[in-house]
Amino acid sequence: MNPPEPAAIPRQRGFLGFVERAGNLLPEPTMIFVWLIGVLVVLSIVGAALGWSASLPYSGETPPEGAVLADGKLTYRATSLLAAENVTRLLTEMPRTMAGFAPLGLILTIMLGAAVAERSGLLSALIRASLRNAPRGLLTPLVALVGMVSHHASDAAYLVYVPLAALVFATAGRHPLAGLAAAFAAVSGGYAGNITPGQIDVLLFGFTQEAARIVEPGWVMNPAGNWWFILAIVVLYIPAIWFITDRVIEPRLGQWSGAMDDQTRADLARTGLEPAERKGLRRAGLAALLVIGAYAALTLVPGYAPLFNAEGEGTAQFQPLLGALVAGFFLLFLLCGIAFGSAAGTVRSSKDVTDMMQEGIRAMAPYIVFVFFAAHFVAMFNWSRLGPILAIDGAEVLSALALPAPLLLVSVQMLGSFLDLFIGSASAKWSALAPVVVPMFMLLGISPEMTTAAYRMGDSYTNIMTPLMSYFPLILAFARRWDAGFGVGSLLALMLPYALTFMVVGVAMVVGWVALDLPLGPGAQVFYQPQQR
């Protein structure tokens, strides 16, 4: 495959131009993590020497890793990364540290199936069959809606949907980077929103429940406790993405030059569907029904439902199903790609399938290099105990401010946004923050559901404005498929208008929800009323 032809995206003046130029002076994301590891080592040494620590009440019996439980309190103490046990862990667990980096396994698993779906021609045929004649002006809201719903597919949307949206825009004659930006904004910046509760709701409310029981031991989580709130995010974010993409981003990008790699050029060159491709799509549809039917059977068949937790409550019953979606998408892409290719003539033997898989993994080589350093930064950050110390101290500062409830919630939102610039995992941050802020807000009359809603809002929109986000290098690689000169600053400048707009909308939502006392979901209110439980 030849390298992409250079594309001339006009470099703008003004604030976004400054962000782009300044951001492009940053090293590649891999080297950013190398430098951060060095800074982290120094901070851990200083913190251990000065005795940095933080404590919080804890009603459980088993303390989390790295914490000391005494007199009903958890205490985290800063640990030097040059301490003997941490050096031993670093050198002996290096393979495990990399292999245990959650996004890596997800990406490689789905990529094996997606590579077959792409290289067999299935994805290209689907686009040409369904979106080639779609109105150009409606592509953006459609991309935004599907992107926000795709959260139910876990992080698979980053790998599959974001590059697909760029291809959809290119197919319609629009700038592919505008499609990539709209999809990335919806998938990542709009991570807090969705049409229905899903896996992230169960995960976050699990930490909320443990924190709420510090004040009320019998408090039980409601996985649908943010349903109306996350639905409102979808309603408000879609027009915002539509306006920013069509009126700000695409005019800034200018006329698309048509630069692309050979694979993309071949995909776009075919405007119609051959009879063999139509037959392949029919076979792929049957394969998709087979996978969906198998998952439905494993979830609903009485007496044998491995993907259904009969002991759970509400959406928690479907936690095994949600956790199995990664494997489901692998099977979906793999089997549909094989079914399509067998009819279209692109898959003639098992060797063709394995060759496609190998080509897909080769394309992931730059990301695998990045993962090595990112995984070690995340692991070393945990070993140093600086993360929970920062979160607990930050929450205590908020408590000392004695602000009105709406402003306190916005403060929690801003704290989540700040931490999100450095710590990617929403659950990791909430596991440290929830035991402090949830009981504090309950004592102030704010419900655990409202506190969770404020946190998850703040945790989402900064995803798209930090090169430390684990999927940022992957999105950058997708962008370079269309513009070989696209840099870190270029992507930051592309996404900053979305992030700032989402931030304003998010703050307004949190303040407005409290001021109007709107229900957050079925049985979930803004204010905490223990007598109703």
Asked if residue 439 belongs to a domain, the reply is: yes
Asked if residue 6 belongs to a domain, the reply is: no
Residue 177 pLDDT greater than 90, yes or no: yes
The Cα–Cα gap between 110 and 158 comes to: 11
Q: Are 461 and 525 in contact (CB under 8 A)?
A: no
Local structure of 86: helix, strand or coil: helix
Q: 155-174, pLDDT tens digit by residue?
A: 667 877 888 888 888 878 88
Asked if residue 5 belongs to a domain, the reply is: no
The domain in which residue 82 lies consists of 15-516
Domains of the chain: total: 1
Residue 16's pLDDT band, with cuts at 50, 70 and 90, is low
State the alpha helices, DSSP H only, in 213-324: 227-243, 250-253, 262-269, 275-300, 319-323
Residue 185 pLDDT greater than 90, yes or no: yes
What local confidence, expressed as pLDDT, does residue 532 receive?
Answer: 41
Q: 414-473, pLDDT tens digit by residue?
A: 988 887 776 666 766 776 677 777 877 887 788 999 999 999 999 888 889 888 787 888
Local structure of 481: helix, strand or coil: coil
Asked if residue 444 belongs to a domain, the reply is: yes
Q: 77-122, pLDDT tens digit by residue?
A: 999 999 999 999 999 999 999 988 766 787 788 788 888 988 888 8
Q: 467-497, pLDDT tens digit by residue?
A: 878 788 889 988 988 888 888 888 989 999 9
Asked if residue 65 belongs to a domain, the reply is: yes
Q: 450-465, pLDDT tens digit by residue?
A: 999 999 999 888 889 8
Q: 392-408, pLDDT tens digit by residue?
A: 777 677 777 777 878 88
Asked if residue 271 belongs to a domain, the reply is: yes
Asked if residue 483 belongs to a domain, the reply is: yes
What local confidence, expressed as pLDDT, does residue 3 receive?
Answer: 37
What local confidence, expressed as pLDDT, does residue 418 receive?
Answer: 83
The dihedral through the CA atoms of 443, 448, 450, 455 has a sign that is positive
**Is the whole-model pTM more than 0.75?**
no
What average pLDDT score do residues 267-281 get? Answer: 75
The Cα–Cα gap between 92 and 100 comes to: 14
Residue 506's pLDDT band, with cuts at 50, 70 and 90, is very high
Q: List the end-to-end C-alpha distance of the chain, in Å, as a whole number.
A: 63
Q: Are strands 53-57 and 67-70 parallel, antiparallel or unpaired?
A: unpaired
Q: Are 226 and 202 in contact (CB under 8 A)?
A: no
Asked if residue 2 belongs to a domain, the reply is: no
